Structure 1
Amino acid sequence: MTRPFTENDIIPPEFRRGRGARSRETGRFEAQKRERIDDGWGSLEQEMEPVRTFLMPDKSKSVITRNTSPDIPFRQGLNPYRGCEHGCIYCYARPSHTYLGFSAGLDFETRLMVKYDAARVLEQEFRHKNYKPDLIVMGGNTDIYQPIEKKLKITRQLLKVFDRFNHPVGLITKSALVTRDIDILKRLARKRLVRVYISVTTLDYRLARNMEPRASTPQKRLDAIRDLAKAGIPVGVMAAPVIPSLTDHELENILAAARAAGARSAGYIMLRLPLEIKKLFREWLEEEAPDRARRIIHLLQEMHGGKDYSSSYSERMRGSGPYADLVAQRFKKCCFRLGLNQRTAEDELTLDLFQPPLDDGTQMSLF
């Protein structure tokens, strides 16, 4: 007989293979919380159920999200999936899963919401008479090339819509699966309509496996940068997140490896621990890096006024203080030395080509 785990459990490794989080504590919006208590009959010693992935349809009426945040360099985003099977323990999108009644922990990795009709909905939004084209970034929240995309191909369907409408799009991913769509990305690139960013957190294979269990290996990501660059697709690298006392020493090596592979631009973001992530990340540290846990948290708090996280626009992405300033200087000098981020006017994406095609499948009016 098997039983499901409850929120307060730290799931044993043998039951969460390939998962980043160690628990699935109730989200902050839930009115009730369940706890497991031994009744004396040995029921807690029974065999436990392995953690599995479940897909659920997301029937949102719109797929384009909009923001006005001054520290986000784009105003429109698109995410065909909610939740992400990559399982990156540091993912800042985890708390968004609590809005759906799920936990930011294992539920975020295993209870996935899928916008199966995303391409159709996007086309409807592009055809709306009041729509004005502006860059749309795919993958700003959850990864558009997470494992289920290999079968579902929703991201590929969306790229076909961007291609047909000549609409600019940016892609952010840590998956080598992006190379599957080089045929479409090449067409978009010839029209100055696409830019791709590959996230590389660490070059350490073992650390990446433990921290980003179902994402592509670091080498596969560098290979993806190389393949995209060879195809003439503008590609950059995101060294994100930079984790103090764990991955910070790799910053220059990551940028150099990506530049050698063909990256033309780069960015970085410091580790962020908002809301539920602070507990999830501490659970991970206790198991994977107990000798450095205190120092990592101390440096993070030093960058956020003594707290785990500051949500102010001036601090949440980069932090503040001596350590944050040092990382910023290292990044800037390394980019200058490697020739990264030296854009010209030809590198800018264009909005001028946007045009809804006539073949919308409906009968045209005579007037």
Structure 2
Amino acid sequence: MIIDRMQVRLTRWPLKMTRKHGVGDVADTLPGVVVSLHTKDGLTGWGEAAPWSVFSGTAEAAVAALDVYLRPLVIGRDPRRLARIMAEADRTIVGHPEAKMALDMALHDLFGQAAGVSVAELLGGVFRESIPLSVSIANPDFDADLDFARARLAEGIRLFKVKTGFSTHAEDMSRLDRLAAMLPADASLRIDYNQGLAAVDAIRTLRDVEAFRPAFIEQPVARDRRDAMAEIARALDTPILADESVFSPEEAVECVRSRFADAVSIKLMKAGSFAKGKAIAAIAQAAGMPCYGGTMYEAGIALTAGIHFAASTPAMTLGAEYYTSAFVLGTEILKEPVRLEAGASWLPTGPGLGIAVDEAALKGATMEVRG
């Protein structure tokens, strides 16, 4: 089984709703990247990168990383040598975790198809078939978001994460109050500042929002203010979830040593490979820190990869947000969309990622093709 062709597509996904965050807003569209690896015997493996410029990188940079620097590492290679290929990727180019993750997805998809097993089985075996679904409340039109929340409640979803820090504290408190008032007793409220608070008065602000008894408060201050994160974690009763402050296993070790958070959000786009995501989860689990499945604005390929990861990783106990292709993006590129049912996202059956890409829909969203 030899890879003889690689295609890299720069895409643009339309959005169904405006989104605001503590750092960065999204209005109409977002760029993305889709990569496909083709073997001489007719198999195709799929991967996806979901960079966001205010978070880590750009889609254009991910396309260049894949096309120029990572392409030579896979052409003429056996995808079953994926551990070696990914180690070479780290030596070849610094950073660009989204591009590397897209490559790793496609390699695992090919490996699983060839072996007749799922990616979750390749990653250690299936621990759970479904992952409780957490949806984010991030629309500046809060009345529309309340309607969105009601619809999700009717579908059985019980995990709701409110994006805060993009407006005034008074507005945040009002939004939290209105949402909390409509949530049933069995629902879990979470709060995500996306780095939106200044460290100088973060504790005073967060003591107010503790009144809503959230399950966790995510990334209240800037990524590099881990000292402030540690002070906040010590001062509050509410668990602090690290997102932007933990990209890598090395940063997960730092989180454990300094205890600047009580839990960790694992995003494959931050980690840069399944193996590094697994390492972060193992470090967190050894320290007694539960993990949450975060995402960027991902289409169905990356969401499915996340489901395989969470399904095979016991530490992922806080739920996951594997829903954006259904509720946020305006384009569906899978023939069978990610299964969302009974308040959860479900592991697909079939070898590899277990997906079939709708290439006509993908073509419609493609801005540029290389390879």
Range of TM-score over shorter length: 0.3 to 0.5
From the two aligned structures, give the one with the greater strand fraction. 2
TM-score by length of 1: 0.36
Structure number having the greater helix percentage: 2
Give 1 or 2 for the bigger CA radius of gyration. Answer: 1
